[in-house]
Structure formats: structure tokens, C-alpha cells
Amino acid sequence: MTRWASPDLVAAAIAGDAAAKDGLVAEIWPACFRLAASLIGDRALAQDAAQEACVIIYRKISHLRSTDAFDAWVYRIVARESARVRRRFRSAETSAYESGFTSDSTASVDVWRALLALSPRLRDVAVLFYVDDLKTEEIARILGIAHATVRTRLARARDRLRSILGDYAIEPQATVKEVKEHVC
Amino acid sequence: MSADFSTMAKKARAQISVPPLDIAAIRERAATFGARERLRRIVLALAALLGVIGGAVAYAALGGGVHVWFAGNNVKVTVQSLAQIREPTAADVRDITAKAAFPIVFPVAVPRGMRVWWIAYDPADSPRLLTIEYRSATGGSRMSVTLIDEAKIRSDQSLLPGGPLQALTSKIGRHWQIGRELVLVQGRELSPASATRMRSAMQRSTPAASESAFDATLRRIVVLQKVEPRVADAAERIASAGRNVIIGDWDIRQLPRIAARGKPLRDSRLVYLTSIPQRRGQPIYRDATMYWPKAIAIPASGVRVIETTLRKANVGANCGCAILVHRSGNAYTVWKIETAPPYEAQKLSSP
């Protein structure tokens, strides 16, 4: 089972089935958009990034060798396109934009404010670690950076989040995950 | 408030509403991209062959950061720098014309419904090459016209294939010459009859006459980021003479913060790209160094007026609307235009 879509659908899309490719993109679209939105913090830009990612996935899925590689591949594409869109719209007036996400929950708003207060580099790592439950080695491969860099950025992100969200339990969750990683 | 951050963050992400997926657009873009990639490879090989056997029919150009080579029905262009303006107005085009190194005959008699989307030119201080990209109101139909100072092309043979040139290569499409200007036209929807009409009209025209006719395909209002063509068209219908700016949800969201800081709203339509790297002979625009000149779309005093107007009218970034601002002296008129058909407009304030 892949995280993004059913292995059968991925396999059919890799084999070149046009209907499967349509189905696959439709299935991964919500997750792609939400991931891009979490990384960028802006709905309109996230839509651009997610669409670009879906075009690449649609076009290059047949180059993929196995379904096992699908998850990491999609993460890499969405993360890269999000970074690209973020770079393109980087200017003096865009450094602290509001997310524009709508939510009834005050806690959700707090979470987004905290994540958006992080620098993009720290946010990428924090989102993939806390929201997507990825291991630090996987994050390093997805972002194309050293494992040690991921751990450093994660520690910084955690400090920053703790200072913003003092009473959220950030550390216990992180500790459990890190212990699991070391054990496995 | 004690809650696990990871759990809360997952919940928060799940609450993000997802816009509908336009699978047809993704399918079409993937197909277009694939075809372009294949064509590029084929023509690159063909051009290399022509470079060996076709020196006699080849021309090369060096104009600032742009290199152009063409032979037979193929063209190769490399760009080290360029300036690009999105949705230009007549004033922007006057600025380009004034700087141009050659008398530009602009495209005339273009197919009905085509509007200028962007213009790229190079070198930025004295253009010798202009690419004008058109699109229809729905964005479904596109066409590009490249105008090259032909005198420059004939003067430099040093960049013929076999030399140091690594280039982006594509089919010319249709091409013709007007005085010292070489015109290259590409567009899947451009019929032979339309191309012939364009060619005849351009050959009959003069730089001044073509510039006046070209104005009809330009925006009459300044369109800042993220405004759909049909919304901008609706805004143009209600815009009165003078300085008009339309802003989309992205800029609407920035307004309170910009107003609080006492800053103006920047006009980000013009961008300069320098140091465009190339990989395997293809320019990688996204890795270029980009520079936005600090042009002002709405001054700080106007931003404050608009922000106050929107706040009083309870209009925010999620209003599903764009905002049209008309400036006359220090007085501002603000309109709200729905971004869905029938694109209804509502005047929020008058001077």
C-alpha cells in the first residue's frame, strides 16, 4: 500500500493506462494540494505548485520503475515545485504572508500561524516530520539535503515552535518518533 | 490549551478545503509538454546536421544577451538575460519602442479575441528581439510572435553551429520579413489564412501605424498578480479613463499589512532575468537571477484608502472577487468584481 494511492492504480499508470493516469492524479490531488499548502502557506500559490506537480507526475509516471518508489517520488516533486513557486514569488512584500486558510478551529489557526512563522527551510522539515510522519532520512532524500542538516533544522524548528506554542506538546511526539527511528 | 502538536497539525491540514481538479487541463499540458520535448530533441539533431551541411543558408545573430540562429525552417535561440512584462499597457509598449534598436512593426490583424499576455525583450536597455505571447480570453488558445532585428542577424556569422553555441531549438512555424525586421509566428490555432492576413497587414503597415493598431490587443488597466483574463476583461469594461489597477486575492490579502507599514503596492509585472543558466543546451529560467524594479502600482496613501474601504465593506481575500481601483489625482474609486460569471461589479467607494 502506498501512502498516496493504491498500488494497483499506480502500477496501471506506470504501465501507461491513460484512464489509470487520470484516476491516479484525481486520487492524489487533495493530498498534493494540502501538502503544497502546508509548505507554502498560500492557497493560490499552492494550487499552482500542486498543478505543476500533477502535470509532471502525469507526464513522467511511466518512467517510474516500481510502485515502491512512488511515495518518495511524489513527495520530491511536490516539495520541489512548492519551493520553486515560493522562490518565484519571493519579494520584500511576501515574507510574512497570511495563509488564507479557512478553519473553524482556533487550534488549527494557531498551528498554521506557528508553521508560517518558521522560515521556509525549517517549515519544510517540520511539516514533513510532524504532519507527514516521515523519518528524518526520508526527509533528507526528499529535500536533497544531508541527514545531519535535517536533524539540525528539525531541532531549530522545534525550538521555534515551542517558543510560539508553549503549551502544545511538541517534544514527546518528536522524541517517540526519533527513538523509533534509532531503534529501526 | 494542551494538545499534541503533530495531531493538531494533521487535523489542521485535513481541514484545508481543496479546490476542484481540472484534469483536462493537466492532461493537455502534459501532452503539450511531451510533444514540445520530443520536437526539441528532433530539431536539435536536425539543426546539428544543418550546421554541418547548411552553412550557406544559415544566419546567426548576437544581440545583447540573446543569440539567434536559423536555417531552413528551424530556429535556435539562446538567452543570457531578458526583461519580461506581463499584461503590458500602451504606456509600457511606448517605453519598449522608445528604447528599441530597430523600428518595430508590431503584429497587426492578429486573430480575433487574442490579447497580449506578455512581452519579453532583450537586451533590456535596447531591445533587438521581442517575443509577444498572445492568449484568448479563456486562455485556451495561444500564439507567439517574435520580432528580430534582421540587420543584426546578417552581421554576425561567428555563432554558427559548430562554434560555442548551445541553444534552445524549435520550429519557426511561419516567418516573413518586413524591412529589417524578421517575424516568426508560432501557434497551433493559427490557420494559414490568418497567418497570410497578418503578413499582408504587417507588410502594408508602418511602425507608428502598427503601434496604434497593436494598442487594441493591450490591457487598458494594470493587472497585478493572479487575475483571470475574463475578470480583467470585465474590469476594462467599467474602467474609466485614467490610471486603473486591478488586484486579485493575493494582493488583497497583503493590503492590511502593507497599509499598516505605510508601504505602497508594488507593480511586479516587469521582471529582469539575468545569468540564465543552461543545461544540455536549454535555458533554465527558474534558476536565473530575477530582479523586480521598484515600480509602484498604488502609492501608500492609496493603499490606506483601499484598505479602509475594503474593511468597511467587509471584503477580504476570500471574497471570490477582484478589486478595481481608479485613481484621479489623490481620489480613488474602488470597485469589487466577482471572479465567477457573470462577473458582476459593485462600486464600493467614490471620491
What is the predicted pLDDT for the residue at A16? 81
DSSP character string of B131-161: EEEEE-TTS--EEEEEEEEHHHHHT--TTST
Strand extents, DSSP E, B102-242: 115-122, 129-135, 142-149, 168-171, 174-178, 181-186, 222-223
By Cβ distance, the residue of B13, B249, B257 closest to A34 is B13
Contact B12 A93 (CB under 8 A): no
In the 8-state DSSP scheme, what is residue B339?
S
**Nearest-by-CA chain B residue for A39:** B13
**Nearest-by-CA chain A residue for B31:** A59
Cβ proximity of B65 and B81 under 8 Å: yes
End-to-end, the C-alpha distance of chain A in Å comes to: 20
Per-residue pLDDT tens for A124-162?
999 999 999 899 999 999 998 999 999 999 999 998 888
Cβ proximity of B325 and B246 under 8 Å: yes
Q: Which of residues 312-331 of B touch A (CB under 8 A)?
A: 317-318
pLDDT surpassing 80 at residue A181: no
What is the predicted pLDDT for the residue at A67? 85
Kind and range of the H or E run holding B61: strand B59-63
- Cα angle vertex B141, ends B207, B317, to 5°? 100
What is the predicted pLDDT for the residue at B161? 38
Contact B21 A25 (CB under 8 A): yes
d(CA A70, CA B101) in angstroms, rounded, equals 51
By Cβ distance, the residue of B2, B19, B258 closest to A169 is B2
Contact A108 B266 (CB under 8 A): no
Q: Work out the mean pLDDT of chain A and round it to a whole number.
A: 79
By Cβ distance, the residue of B2, B18, B318 closest to A167 is B2
Those residues whose C-beta lies under 8 Å from the C-beta of residue B100, and which sit 6 or more positions away, are B121, B126, B127, B128, B130
User: What is the residue whose three cell numbers read 555563432?
Assistant: B159
The shares of helix, strand and coil residues in chain A, as percent rounded to the nearest 5, are 75, 0, 25
What is the predicted pLDDT for the residue at B212? 92
- Alpha carbon of B180: minimum distance to chain A alpha carbons (Å): 36
pLDDT-based confidence at A7, cuts 50/70/90? confident
Helical H runs in B65-175? 90-99, 150-154
What is the predicted pLDDT for the residue at B79? 61
Which candidate, A3, A78, A112, A45, places its Cα nearest to that of B16? Answer: A112
Contact B11 A107 (CB under 8 A): yes
In the 8-state DSSP scheme, what is residue B101?
S
Q: Which of residues 93-122 of B touch A (CB under 8 A)?
A: none
Interface test mutation site (partner B, options A129, A131, A173, max chain B beta carbons within 10 A): A131
Contact B253 A172 (CB under 8 A): no
pLDDT surpassing 90 at residue A79: yes
d(CA A4, CA A20) in angstroms, rounded, equals 14
Per-residue pLDDT of chain B (351 residues; tens, 9 = 90+): 335 788 888 888 888 888 888 888 788 777 765 555 544 444 444 333 333 322 222 333 333 444 555 544 455 555 667 788 989 999 999 999 999 988 999 999 998 888 998 898 888 888 888 889 888 877 667 788 888 887 655 434 444 333 333 333 444 567 788 887 888 887 776 788 888 899 999 999 999 999 999 999 999 999 987 688 888 999 999 888 888 999 988 788 888 888 998 989 888 888 887 777 766 656 666 677 777 888 889 999 999 999 999 999 888 877 888 999 998 888 899 999 998 888 888 988 876
Interface test mutation site (partner B, options A28, A34, A81, max chain B beta carbons within 10 A): A34
Q: In what order do the strands lie in the sheet with B168-171?
A: B59-63, B66-71, B74-79, B168-171
d(CA A151, CA B314) in angstroms, rounded, equals 44
Cβ proximity of B283 and B277 under 8 Å: yes
Contact A91 B266 (CB under 8 A): yes
Contacts of B24 in chain A (CB under 8 A): none
Per-residue pLDDT tens for A27-63?
999 999 999 988 988 887 888 889 889 989 998 888 8
What is the predicted pLDDT for the residue at B286? 67
Q: Could you tell me if the ipTM is greater than 0.85?
A: no
